[in-house]
Amino acid sequence: MIQKLILNNCHFKKWRLFLFLVLLCSLQGIYAHQTPSTIVLLDVNPRAVLVELQMPLGELELAFGHEITKDPDHLIEKFGPQLKEYLLAHIHPMTAKDMPWQVEVNDMRLGKAEQTLSGPYQEIIVRLILTPPNGASTRKFIFDYDVIMHQLVTHSALVSIRSDWELGKTNKEPVEVGVIRVDTKTTLIYPLEINLEKGGNWWTGFKGMFSLGMEHIKEGTDHLLFLLVLLLPAPLVMNHRRWGNFGGTKYSIMRLLKIVTSFTIGHSITLLIGALGWINLPVQPVEILIAVSILISAVHAVYPVFPNKEVYVAAGFGLVHGLAFATIISVLNLDVGTMALSILGFNLGIEIMQLFVVILIIPWLILLSQTSIYRGVRIIWAILAAIASIAWIMERVSEKPNRVSDLIQNNYHYASWGILILAIFSLTFFGLHYRSSRKRNSNQYPVA
């Protein structure tokens, strides 16, 4: 009995010690001053290296020597030239000591303020363009950088590759390549050597953009939904301002091909124009228009709003969808030659993936459109598309997700199962329709 009491007391002391340590860690997390690091993101292309600096405002103030946290909203207006001069004095990329690079501050803006456990946090985002001397490669250089840490020895800069065109890496998860900090033994700040010479060439970059185009369509539920809903009534003929019966296999295939081709031509035009920077529209209204295009197509699938004009509608809305495609490439800030190759690869990827999906679905639409059940399938499909489009419109206007948009986002990868179900469904009902037709014909024309 005494032994049991001693064991219970020991267990109680262990639990008390554990709770004390948890409480201590929590208090340290709340009251301790945590020094955030600068995030350095590199976008590497054959002609230049684009850099995005995400610097904590409080730490920058200590090194910069100006009170920039008192009125952060007017920071760029008040201290823009001095801050630019300060950055240029502390960022020195080079191929070698006698081959310095040109550094240009391209943009500065204030990030959103956040509330953390250690107090309010705000950062400034600076974009730079690093250009090597003639003949030098962007794939190997020395990044001499000591912003903030030349005064604040506890500060560090986390350097990552965000995109690398020649490796086909485009704006996915950044890959960390090193940390720049003060060496505690020597109190020196050593430059970081960036070496990307292993692998990577124009062909790899082209393949990367091709894959990006395929992936964008694969994940671009709204783009595919617009096209597929527009294709729903394509196999049907008009009958007194209503959708009638199946118009025949040749008629259906020609109409489907014309719609797909016109959509392709439309989005290819604005993809080229937008990627080259000739048109630069805000992302939000473009995304809203894409959702609206799905809603209009859904209404048309139920009642012919623009009968026999689907080709023109596909081309017109294709122009809008192309602007969304263009934003994927334009943010890479590529030179003209690389941009042209990127547009070609990206657009080919879009077309191949789009054509693949359409080929998977067209046969089942043609089979189903010959059955009496197609009207119900068409209306249900259109209603679901309309619900999705309204959810996307609400999300893109309010910039807040909703239950329907979250449901689509979390389950879009099950689309392949939907195509399989559609195939089985089409084959089953077309088989029943075919047997029923043969039976009617045999009753109408009995064998003598």
Q: What is the pTM of this model?
A: 0.69
Instruction: Answer whether residue 2 is part of any domain.
Output: no
Same domain, 436 and 319: yes
Same domain, 153 and 226: no
Instruction: Answer whether residue 15 is part of any domain.
Output: no
pLDDT tens for each residue of 210-262: 888 888 888 788 888 998 898 899 899 888 788 988 888 898 889 888 998 99
pLDDT tens for each residue of 248-296: 889 888 988 899 899 999 999 998 888 877 887 888 899 999 999 999 9
Same domain, 149 and 75: yes
Same domain, 178 and 236: no
pLDDT tens for each residue of 113-128: 776 655 567 899 999 9
Same domain, 168 and 219: no
Same domain, 313 and 374: yes
Mean pLDDT of the region 35-61: 90
Per the structure, the count of domains in the chain is: 2
Domain termination residue (choose one: 184, 199, 214): 199
Instruction: Answer whether residue 10 is part of any domain.
Output: no
Same domain, 305 and 412: yes
Instruction: Answer whether residue 124 is part of any domain.
Output: yes
Same domain, 227 and 283: yes
Same domain, 261 and 378: yes
Q: Could you list the residue range(s) of the whole structural domain that residue 177 is in?
A: 35-199
Domain termination residue (choose one: 173, 199, 225): 199
**What per-residue confidence (pLDDT) applies to 118?**
53
Instruction: Answer whether residue 251 is part of any domain.
Output: yes
Instruction: Answer whether residue 23 is part of any domain.
Output: no
HEC-encoded secondary structure of the chain: CHHHHHHHHHHHHHHHHHHHHHHHHHHHHHHCCCCCCEEEEEEECCCCEEEEEEEEHHHHHHHHCCCCCCCHHHHHHHHHHHHHHHHHHHEEEEEECCEECEEEEEEEEECCCEEECCEEECEEEEEEEEECCCCCCCCEEEEEECCCCCCCCCCEEEEEEEEEHHHCECCCCCEEEEEEEECCCCCCECCEEEECCCCCCHHHHHHHHHHHHHHHHHHCHHHHHHHHHHHCCCCEEECCCCEEEECCHHHHHHHHHHHHHHHHHHHHHHHHHHHCCCCCCCHHHHHHHHHHHHHHHHHHHHCCCCCCCHHHHHHHHHHHHHHHHHHHHHCCCCCHHHHHHHHHHHHHHHHHHHHHHHHHHHHHHHHHCCCCCHHHHHHHHHHHHHHHHHHHHHHHHHCCCCHHHHHHHHHHHHHHHHHHHHHHHHHHHHHHHHHHHHHHHHHHCCCC
Domain termination residue (choose one: 167, 199, 231): 199
Instruction: Answer whether residue 384 is part of any domain.
Output: yes
Same domain, 156 and 302: no
Same domain, 338 and 375: yes
Instruction: Answer whether residue 27 is part of any domain.
Output: no
Same domain, 188 and 217: no
Confidence of residue 72 (pLDDT cuts 50, 70, 90): confident
pLDDT tens for each residue of 306-365: 888 889 999 999 999 998 888 878 766 677 778 888 888 888 998 898 889 888 888 998
